[in-house]
Chains A and B, each alone.
Chain A
Amino acid sequence: MPNHAPIPAPVPRLQLRAITKRYPGCLANDAIDLTIAPGEIHALLGENGAGKSTLMKVIYGVTQADSGEVIWQGRRVTLRNPAQARSLGIGMVFQHFSLFETLSVAQNIALAMGAAAGTPRQLEPKIREVSRRYGMALEPERLVHSLSIGERQRVEIIRCLMQDIRLLILDEPTSVLTPQEADDLFVTLRRLAAEGCSILFISHKLGEVRALCQSATVLRGGRVTGHCVPADCTDQQLARLMVGEAAQLIANYSKVTGGDAFLEVRGLSWHNPDPFGCSLKDINLEVRSGEIVGIAGVAGNGQDELLALLSGEQRLNRNEGATLRFGKEPVAHLHPDARRRLGLSFVPAERLGHGAVPELSLADNALLTAFQQGLVSKGLIRRSRVETLAEEIIHRFGVKTPDSQTPARSLSGGNLQKFILGREILQQPKLLIAAHPTWGVDVGAAATIHRALIALRDAGAAILVISEDLDELFQISDRLGALCGGRLSALHATVDTRLSDVGGWMAGQFATPQSLASATR
């Protein structure tokens, strides 16, 4: 479409003017302006809850803004649904993929593109061509369940590239990738941008934004707090834009070695009956009293399965009881409540719907796991004690809530996580297992949670943290390992480990010689 009108500056690919979106009880986007030039890689930075997701849903037509304008290549548009956004050339890769695991890559892509695009077989050559052009190896006939997470993400990206794409939105694309996979993705994205496609890259990881993006818009609490060129800013400056003045949050905790082993896992193998799930193979692990062990890994490599086996949601037969021991006591055949009596506390990955019942009040949610702490007498609930406990958790861990009768659902992620962690810590566990303790939590709450974990460690508890956030693991854990394909690497002291070592373990290269790792230090 040749445009002969003399324009001094190129028309921006996308321009947002004063986008405002209100949800009940929260102003998600407050008069947000954003401009993206053709071929620009633009970062949208912000903490969880800053309004990034809402904004991109507005751009992709998933929700409509209450007020404000969307201007697409100089023309004002109203985006009613994603199909309309796609027809304009806007593509989006969500954090959680929407793929059918039992279908092939080509079938998935054909489904998303609609009947007009042709049959899966007709699409195959094009898929091959696109994947070759952008350096994303992918076989169209393969079934999606056999693909790794990184490959599935490629399916989503190629699906967007199959049509004439002008703007690609990526929502935290690296959160599911190993560091090496993330580098490969960046190569693809740079090539795409060089061809004139604009990219909106949503993230809260400062390092990768600096490496990839030409400009950035920072959001905080639904408002734009700054535009900047990431390469010219320090981490401290960016962090201040993202979280405000309280940015002296990155602490250094001392590393310790701990005492006797409390949790012992010996040769734990478990076959997952779910064909698309991950089976565990010969896991050996030991967590000592007074230390924090961190386990890294890309989601779906056996974390959920290992957690279920440790918590007791998945039990083994009595004769396999000794594969898991709490302080010499075999526990693998015990129910969760029996394991709790032996000193276990557990913080599941999902706060709502697993760690806490959304509809119940905070007081009832305190009772949920603390019922063995004298809160029940002769089968009846001792209400006043439950209230006292809930008040204590709220007070000691700075949970922001009107009162203990508030339903768990209405708390923000960080506040609820503080409550859940507080509930578990106040039971004075000998072993605390926490999955993704600061996932989706703002920086302030994350610091509180880290301090609480360190304090519990120093009080002599054994702590196991399973997380995808490598920065967090390096910060708090004393020893580190990684899960890959249901296998666990050997654990190494954090001080002797480099980021790239962990990256290798996450990719299944367990053979990294320890001597090499320590030699380079």
Chain B
Amino acid sequence: MLLSLEPRGQQSRLMLWCSPLLAAALTLGCGSLLFIALGHDPLLTLHTLLIAPVSDLYGVSELLVKALPILLCALGLAVAYQARIWNIGAEGQLLLGALASSALAVNIIDMQSRWALVAILLTGTLAGAAWAGLTAWLRTRFNANEILTSIMLNYIALNLLLFCVHGPLKDPAGFNFPESAMFGEASRLPLLMEDGRVHAGVYFALLALVAVWVLLQKSFVGFQIKVLGLDKRAAGFVGFREKRLIWLALLISGGLAGLAGVCEVTGPIGQLVPQVSPGYGYAAITVAFLGRLNPLGILFSSLLMALLYIGGESAQMSLNLPQAISQLFQGMMLFFLLASDVLILYRPRLNLRWTRRAQATAVHAGAL
């Protein structure tokens, strides 16, 4: 092996900051090569993918709208993942949040009070938490693996949502389209600007960001969650209650995903539709790890993920770039970001013995 990796023994502070830059450089380089090979102008394509979508206020607003649910889900997942509880069910928890809150919203369309919105938001958040609570119960009561149960609950949530949208919650005046009635004005999240779809959900996201940051970095409960994740025996020997912490982490995780779901239906969409989520809950898993389970990191990675979503769409429209190619570019970026993180714990080393032998044979060949 010409290049080998050696453990550093300790995290490299420098690499902690440099690895995202390295990943960005590699992505831009390899992306350019890809676009050249396909006959596209690399600079123009990169501009369309990464800069054009956010070059005006409307673009920024769209970016925030996309980033919001991903951010909320990923923050919740970070709490669970710190405890090494692999909640894969953010998607289902989001859908259930959207479903339960819609069920309430379509029944109070005429209510004028602002409390309508409060009740709807609470319902959605609690529904998400309850859905995650099922996973917590199965895990703590029957020791069922949370990865399996949370994934399976995703499908149950999706089919519940489809059933309701096609059945009990379908708009009676909606020409049989599978969607609910539009919510009342009082049940909608207020918009933040005139010409954009960004809504008050951003405040919830900021609040959740700060709350999760305090929980994980400053609070003793967060410390217990981290210890449980890193070292279950140490947590047991000092008396941290494993089951209680599992419940807590999953309820927070599910609650935030549920909140993301309500914000979608009461914000940009305004009604319950089958396509509430294009997979936000799954994207949030990537985003949580990309942000290294750190709330600030997750903020950046969710914005990046949203940018990749929007950039891909606009490149498809203006440059005729096939969707597969923009997805390839996204995949490349995620790959490089995660791969560069290897350098935080490992040091690359050129194997000198090998190079020396290579040189020797080269000299030998030259002599002949």
Contact = CB atoms under 8 A, between A and B. Distances in A.
Nearest to B233: A354
21 contacts: A312-B239, A313-B237, A336-B237, A336-B238, A337-B239, A338-B239, A340-B238, A353-B234, A354-B234, A354-B237, A356-B234, A357-B231, A357-B234, A358-B230, A364-B223, A367-B223, A368-B227, A380-B219, A380-B220, A381-B219, A381-B223
B110 interface: no
A332 to B, nearest CB: 14
Contacts of A335: 239, 241
B6 interface: yes
A360 B234 CA distance: 11
A359 B227 CA distance: 9
B236 interface: yes
Which 6 pairs across A and B sit closest by C-beta, in order of nearness? A337-B239, A336-B239, A357-B231, A335-B239, A376-B220, A24-B9
Interface in A350-374: 350, 353-360, 364, 367-369, 371
Q: Which of B214, B218, B234, B241 has the most CB of A within 10 A?
A: B234
A258 interface: no
Contact of A346 (B221, B223, B227, B237): B237
A128 to B, nearest CB: 41
A313 B236 contact: yes
A348 interface: yes
Q: How large is the interface on B (under 10, 10 to 19, 20 to 34, 35 or more residues)?
A: 20 to 34
Contacts of A379: 219-221
Contacts of A339: 239
B239 A340 contact: yes
A357 B223 CA distance: 12
A25 B219 contact: no
A84 interface: no
A346 B238 CA distance: 9
A131 interface: no
Interface of A: 24-25, 311-313, 335-340, 346, 348, 350, 353-360, 364, 367-369, 371, 376, 379-381, 407, 410
Interface in B204-256: 214, 218-221, 223, 226-227, 230-231, 233-234, 236-241
Given A336-B237, A376-B220, A381-B219, A353 B9 contact: no
B6 A24 contact: yes
Contacts of B236: 313, 336
Contacts of B230: 357-360
Contacts of A376: 220
A382 to B, nearest CB: 10
B167 interface: no
Contact of A353 (B6, B220, B231): B231
A239 B356 CA distance: 45
A73 to B, nearest CB: 28
Contacts of A348: 237
A381 B218 contact: yes
Nearest to B347: A24
Contacts of A407: 10
A369 B238 contact: yes
Given A358-B231, A410-B10, A368 B238 contact: yes
B219 A311 contact: no
Contacts of B231: 353-354, 357-359
Nearest to B236: A313
A360 B10 CA distance: 12
Contacts of B237: 311, 313, 336, 346, 348, 354-355
B7 interface: yes
Contacts of B9: 24-25, 410
A25 B7 CA distance: 10
A326 to B, nearest CB: 15
A178 to B, nearest CB: 28
B8 interface: yes
Contacts of A350: 233
Given A24-B8, A312-B239, A337-B239, A368 B234 contact: yes
Nearest to B8: A24
B239 to A, nearest CB: 3
